[in-house]
Amino acid sequence: MSEVNGAGEMGGTSDVSGVSSVNGEWPLYEVFIRGKRGLNHVHVGSLRAADNRMALTHARDLYTRRNEGVSIWVVRSNDIAASTPDEKDSFFDPSGDKVYRHPTFYTIPEDVPHI
Amino acid sequence: MTTTHAAPEAEESGESAEQTRFDRTIARDQRIEPRDWMPEGYRKTLIRQIAQHAHSEIIGMQPEGEWITRAPSLRRKAILFAKVQDEAGHGLYLYSAAETLGADRADLTLRLIEGRQKYSSIFNYPTPSFADVGVIGWFVDGAAICNQVPLCRSSYGPYARAMVRVCKEESFHQRQGYELLLTMMRGTEAQRAMVQDAVDRWWWPSLMMFGPPDAESPNTAQSTAWKIKRHSNDELRQRFVDMTVPQAEKLGVTLPDPELVWNEARGHHDFGTPDWSELKRVIAGDGPCNAERVARRRTAHEEGAWVREAASAYAAKQADRARRTEVSA
């Protein structure tokens, strides 16, 4: 399961760690691409590959056929730890009640320039 | 699949809360993401639709791929190569999306080559002339664009995102086809006849690509409620006809439908009824090329097995070596 499945936490169908599974099926990789200099790598999808090097060349052929990237990261889907939607309420609570982290929390007189 | 099962007594109340959250997400026009709870029917419908879509892209490489070695110029060969490679890419984006729903890519391939899952009926028609390459780009990719542009807003996030990627590339497909036909129409009488012949053969099957008429499309209502589907088959078919008629005029070909006429009152073209019995026949497996297409996909899969196994063995060996070096260091 891709798109950051977090199989580790959710008990998904994880195969033998680090290596292609016994039945010859290649493990799933998530692909991240830096579109151009100055931008972050962004998740674009997943693919199957036997190892890291093949994952990179497959990612190049699959996701950058039209100069969509200058740099690629690939990572085994099983190696990604992800928050779950179930945790949503409590997991993201710490930021919920801290309005003072936002600039709009502070009232500044209209006539103060550049702030 | 990563559905976590609650204890039986908690399941009912738990699921209805989940259902409410799901319904609210759909109602707000927000996207469902892979790890969200979703009704089993939603998951199944999506897996079926995305898998069929992926299979269509993969099988769709064949009719045009046959012309790669026989393309009339290096330019056309390079274009066709790039296009067929895109189709493979589209298939892989879609398999990737299907895997987010818990489907397994290898299993989907098996379902395709064992005939347990379908692909678009259009790819069961033959490509006897090079004009077919142009008409496929114009009609088939044009119809695909009509179908796929609304799917960019489909409620399931990974599917919608795959569609955005596909649609960007599909525009090249349609344009290269139309340009090819324009070139042939500027050629000899025989070339113009080839184009008209291809148009005659592909027009009706292209209209059938949108699926059966709405009255006979049982899944449409539910898919629309779930916002997987944004427009009905007939709406999309109408859009395709309206889009294509002026292009045909400009090209100088006749669309093979005597009932095709502009309806001022509706603001749309009226057109004839496709032969739905033919669509049923082709879907059921009795099209001109069904057996050939699946057999070819099966051969490619089986003859590629040793490559997949060798790559796995190599990866295992490298990983093993790396481990041993680590231990001895």
Contact: B315, A6; criterion CB under 8 Å? no
**pLDDT tens, residue by residue, B272-308:** 999 999 999 999 999 999 999 999 999 999 999 999 9
> Could you give the CA distance from residue B204 to residue B182 in angstroms, rounded to a whole number?
21
Write out the DSSP string of A40-80: -EEEEEEEE-SSHHHHHHHHHHHH-TTS--SEEEEEEGGG-
Chain B residues near residue A17 by CB distance under 8 angstroms? none
> Could you give the CA distance from residue B322 to residue B318 in angstroms, rounded to a whole number?
6
Give the DSSP letter of residue A25: P
Chain B residues near residue A19 by CB distance under 8 angstroms? 312, 315-316, 319
Q: Tens digit of pLDDT per residue, chain A (115 long)?
A: 556 654 333 333 333 344 444 456 899 999 999 999 999 999 999 999 999 999 999 999 999 999 899 999 999 999 999 887 665 667 777 777 888 888 888 999 999 988 8
CA distance B251 to chain A (A): 29
Torsion over CA of B47, B53, B58 and B61, rounded to 10 degrees? 180
- Report the pLDDT value the prediction gives residue A23, as an integer from 0 to 100: 53
Nearest CA in chain A to B159: A45
Contact: A1, B316; criterion CB under 8 Å? no
Nearest CA in chain A to B166: A63
All structural domains of chain A, each given as residue ranges with its CATH number in brackets, are 7-82 (3.10.20.520)
Q: How many CB atoms lie within 10 A of CB B34?
A: 22
> Could you give the CA distance from residue B239 to residue B251 in angstroms, rounded to a whole number?
19
CA distance B35 to chain A (A): 7
Structural contact between residues B195 and B185, judged by C-beta atoms closer than 8 angstroms: yes
> Could you give the CA distance from residue B150 to residue B143 in angstroms, rounded to a whole number?
12
User: Side by side, which strands form the sheet with A28-34?
Assistant: A41-48, A28-34, A71-76
> What ipTM was assigned to the predicted interfaces of this complex?
0.87
Contact: A10, B35; criterion CB under 8 Å? yes
For residue A33, the SS3 value is: strand
Instruction: Tell how far CA B292 is from the center of its chain.
Output: 19
- Report the pLDDT value the prediction gives residue A89, as an integer from 0 to 100: 65
Q: How far is CA A103 from CA A94, A106, A112, in A?
A: 18, 6, 15
Task: Tokens for B277, please give them.
Answer: 């019995």
Partner residue opposite A7 with nearest CB, options B2, B97, B311? B2
